[in-house]
């Protein structure tokens, strides 16, 4: 990344160690007034004016913060996986992990090596898939090295394979068949690796959509009721178990629960069921808020939430402002909703790809 930045001479335009606090549109001057803050010890705040304001923070950069009552009373440490503090130690401590997405799947196997206890609180089960980070064997390395074009051909095949997975999301017979195969693979991975009590059943013999499924799973699998989703594959992002998360559930210091944390006490947490668990460290693996900015952004008439794309007229001084028409935005969102109705993404599960209805214009 540093080499690319130097190659195109963009480093001279960087201002590092600076936090964006907000921006407001100035009608009189036809520009944005951006409020910034230095993250160094000085903490100096200042403003910068610009004609073009582009949000390049990405959809997975604004973590969901802790909103559990009692956060000010908690004497331990609270950290989000996206803002990890390397100085935090989990050695011989009681750790609470909230969430069960990709971040939690990666962090729990690591902290389980030294934590006294880990209690993971989950809301919705996930589809867990085996790791696909296979090592490249010496044989294939020799092929790629000695046969011209073989590496590019292999890369093209991987590209086509991954791109073809888009068909899985369609509400067609092919999409349903692909989802069924992926579901069976995920269920088999759980039954093969998650803690069980007595027997290992054949997932294909279980009637997955009946209420009796949970009764059956609770009899044979310690955590299986919490590891088998009741929504269709593809509605939420699949989770790849790269670091041995399911195997980690066999450890005596790791516990999984669907109970809900309702309050933080000084050195513990209170759950909906009335239980109190000691807590020294709380790890938030609660994902991101891709549709909301964590800054104060005020445009014309006090409301703007759009990405400026057509900036050439402004740069060429052919226009002073560029703004999306409300009718165009409404037409785009209607077309988007119509297209999504033909995919599994409109299932009832909640995910970053399927936000609450009130967040969609």
More confident residue, 302 or 21: 21
Confidence of residue 291 (pLDDT cuts 50, 70, 90): low
- Least Cα distance to 279 among 266, 298, 295 occurs for 266
Phi-psi sector, 107: left (phi>0), alpha (psi -120 to 50), beta: alpha
Burial class of 98 by CB neighbour count within 10 A (0 to 12, 13 to 18, 19+): buried
Residue 150 has pLDDT above 90, yes or no: yes
226-262 pLDDT tens trace = 898 888 898 888 899 987 899 999 999 999 999 999 9
Give the three-state DSSP class for 36. strand
Residue 125 has pLDDT above 50, yes or no: yes
pLDDT given at position 128? 94
75-124 pLDDT tens trace = 999 999 988 888 899 999 999 999 999 999 999 999 999 999 999 999 88
7-46 pLDDT tens trace = 888 888 888 888 888 888 888 888 889 999 988 778 889 9
pLDDT given at position 290? 67
Answer for the pair 190, 246: CB distance below 8 angstroms, yes or no. yes
**Other beta carbons less than 10 A from residue 78's beta carbon:** 19
Q: What is the DSSP string of 258-286?
A: ---EEEE-SSEEEETTS-EEE-SEEEE--
């Amino acid at each position: 990344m540093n080499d690319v930045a130097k190659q195109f001479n963009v480093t001279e335009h960087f201002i590092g160690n600076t936090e964006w606090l907000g921006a407001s549109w100035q009608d009189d001057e036809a520009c944005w007034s951006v409020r910034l803050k230095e993250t160094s010890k000085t903490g100096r705040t200042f403003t910068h004016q610009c004609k073009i304001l582009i949000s390049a923070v990405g959809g997975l950069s604004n973590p969901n913060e802790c909103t559990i009552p009692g956060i000010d009373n908690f004497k331990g440490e609270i950290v989000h996986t996206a803002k990890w503090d390397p100085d935090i130690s989990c050695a011989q401590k009681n750790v609470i992990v909230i969430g069960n997405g990709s971040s939690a799947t990666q962090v729990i196997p690591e902290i389980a090596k030294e934590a006294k206890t880990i209690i993971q609180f989950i809301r919705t089960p996930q589809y867990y898939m085996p790791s696909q980070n296979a090592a490249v064997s010496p044989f294939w390395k020799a092929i790629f090295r000695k046969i011209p074009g073989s590496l590019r051909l292999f890369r093209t095949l991987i590209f086509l394979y991954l791109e073809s997975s888009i068909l899985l999301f369609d509400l067609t017979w092919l999409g349903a068949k692909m989802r069924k195969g992926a579901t069976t693979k995920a269920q088999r991975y759980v039954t093969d690796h998650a803690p069980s009590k007595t027997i290992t059943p054949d997932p294909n013999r279980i009637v997955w959509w009946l209420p009796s499924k949970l009764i059956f799973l609770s009899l044979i699998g310690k955590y299986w009721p919490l590891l088998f989703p009741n929504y269709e594959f593809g509605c939420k992002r699949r989770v790849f178990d790269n670091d041995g998360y399911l195997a980690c559930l066999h450890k005596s210091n790791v516990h999984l629960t669907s109970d809900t944390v309702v309050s933080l006490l000084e050195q513990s947490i209170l759950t909906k069921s009335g239980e109190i668990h000691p807590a020294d460290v709380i790890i938030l693996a609660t994902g991101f808020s891709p549709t909301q900015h964590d800054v104060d952004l005020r445009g014309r008439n006090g409301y703007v939430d759009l990405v400026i794309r057509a900036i050439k007229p402004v740069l060429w001084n052919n226009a002073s402002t560029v703004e999306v028409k409300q009718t165009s935005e409404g037409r785009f969102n209607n077309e988007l909703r119509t297209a999504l109705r033909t995919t599994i993404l409109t299932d009832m599960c909640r995910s970053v790809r399927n936000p609450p209805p009130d967040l969609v214009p």
